[in-house]
Every structure is written in structure tokens, then in C-alpha cells.
Amino acid sequence: MLTSAALTPSFKVPAKFPVGLDYGDAHLLIDLSERTITTAVFLESSNKITALEQYNYLPGTESVEKHIQDFLLTNDSVRKPYKATWICCSLPDAILFPEELHEFGLSENALNTICGNLHNSEVMTETIHPHGIVNVYRIPSGVYDLIASRFSEESCSHCYSVLLKSLKQRNDQEEAVMDLVFYPGRMMVALTINGKINLIQNISYNSSEEAIYYLLNVREQFSLDVNTLKVNLSGLLDSSSGLYDEICKYFFRADFAARPSEINYDAAFDEFPSHFFIPIFNLGLCVSLEVN
């Protein structure tokens, strides 16, 4: 498979890309983040994710925008004639508004105030049902132009939207639940209390101590009881890492999340920790709900 010279594959499941794939039945899933790009193939007829590849940006190489553009233009699997392509932008600049309070001009100003002004970017909005929330996020203009010209703007979503759509409806009597999704040097934190979203945020960290400090602040801010708070861990977090040990030290009901049971998976995924690829599995679940 052709890849950008600035990227190196870290995971390929299965080891060889499927041969004889029916592209009329296949949907391409792409998750774009600051330091990783993940692709997967979802088969509509069998409701199944059949292949996955993940690439890491090498330290000290070019900008995030350049990496993403290079990948989308040169990666061989991306250029296949899929039935449809679905893209999740797992980039940090995003804020949520209640639908009734959303006004585009004001929300764009709020995004710039909170996340800083970023020139040469496009501001996107997405209403998340049934939560009644509007997600306002931005992506680099070069990436937006490429997505719009090659796949259509409608194919693009954001990691906040994908996570919230994939969360199962929770009973109002259920205890508070915190979902933590890990990327290299960053985690997405979503807090649900009594079935309602109370917090969703991307947090960058340089050490386990920084990550835990933030999580403990969330615990204090929302008066969470660590004896009853359920913490779902997913993404690139290893059970042998110091961060995992620290989370379990302070949050007694922390455990790795199970992959979505509503879709099927190639047997090769059973050889990997199921929580590793949940971000793109969640995208697959959203696609399944859309097309089936």
C-alpha cells in the first residue's frame, strides 16, 4: 500500500488488505487526528468492519494539515471506489451549544475566544440528535477543501458528534458515567449524569500527572462519588501504562470499554485489545445506524 513518506503504519488488521472486496458494498471510514490517521472498511450487507489501518505522524515532521492532505491524496486504499466515505475529524477545536441558544456568528466568536483565532480554517456546525446540541468545530482550510472536492462536505463529522451519537441511551436513574477516549498526548472526556451530557472536552497532557490532575478537578467540580462513578476507557491506552494505573487508583470503577455490539468485526480484531480502536468503531456504528 502506498503511504505518505511522513507516516508509518502502526496497526494493520488483518495483516493483508482484503482481496476481492466488493466496493459497491464497502464504506471507507477515516478518523483524522493531530498525531494519528485511522482507516477502516465497513461492509454494509454484513454490518461488519472487515479491515483497519492506523498511521502515526513521525515527530518533527510537517504540519497536521500537510500530513492529512498528503495522506488523503496518496494513500492507495483511500482512492478505491467505495460506495461512500465517512470522515471523523478528531481535532481539538470544538465547543457545544444547546440548540436553542445557537447562533452561527456568536458561536464562531465563542470558538475563537475559547480556542484561539486560527487563520485559514473552516468553521463547521453539526446538530446532534437526540441530545439537542449543536457542535461547532473547525478544521484547516486545506483539509476542508480536499474533503469537499473529493468526498463532499456532508461526509465529514467531528469526534464529539460521533461519541455522543454512539453512546447508548442511558436510564435517568443510572449513575454518572465518564467516557475517556485516548489519543497520543490527548484525551477526550465526556461526562453523562442522569442520562444528560454535562461535559465533553479535549484535554492535552504531557504526563500522567497532568491527566489525573484534570480528571480529579472534574470529579471535584461535579461532586462525583468515585465509588459509584463508572469510567469507560477506550482508545490508545495500555493496561501496563502508568496512566492506566493512576486512573484506577483514583477511580474505583474504571474499566476498558467494550467495542460496540451492534456491529460485527473480522476475526482478526480478536487478537487486539477491543478498546484500542473504539473511536473508529463508533464511527462504524454511526454509519450502520445511517444505512441499515
pLDDT average, residue stretch 266-270: 95
What pLDDT, on a 0 to 100 scale, did the predictor assign at position 220?
96
Identify the burial level of 185 via C-beta atoms within 10 angstroms of its C-beta, where 0-12 means exposed, 13-18 middle and 19 or more buried. Answer: middle
pLDDT of residue 48 exceeding 90: yes
pLDDT of residue 138 exceeding 70: yes
Query: Quick count: other Cβ atoms within 10 Å of Cβ 69?
Result: 19
Q: Residue 20 — pLDDT band, cuts 50, 70, 90? A: confident
What pLDDT, on a 0 to 100 scale, did the predictor assign at position 174?
61
Q: Identify the DSSP state of 80.
A: S
Mapped onto helix, strand or coil, the DSSP state of residue 240 is: coil
pLDDT of residue 2 exceeding 50: no
pLDDT of residue 137 exceeding 50: yes
pLDDT of residue 85 exceeding 60: yes
150: its cell numbers: 473529493
Most confident of 13-22, 145-154, 200-209: 200-209
Measured CA to CA, the distance from residue 188 to residue 139 in angstroms comes to 17
pLDDT of residue 253 exceeding 70: yes
CB 91 within 8 A of CB 33: yes
CA 179 to chain CA centroid, nearest Å: 12
CB 197 within 8 A of CB 191: yes
pLDDT of residue 213 exceeding 80: yes
99: its cell numbers: 440548540
pLDDT of residue 282 exceeding 60: yes
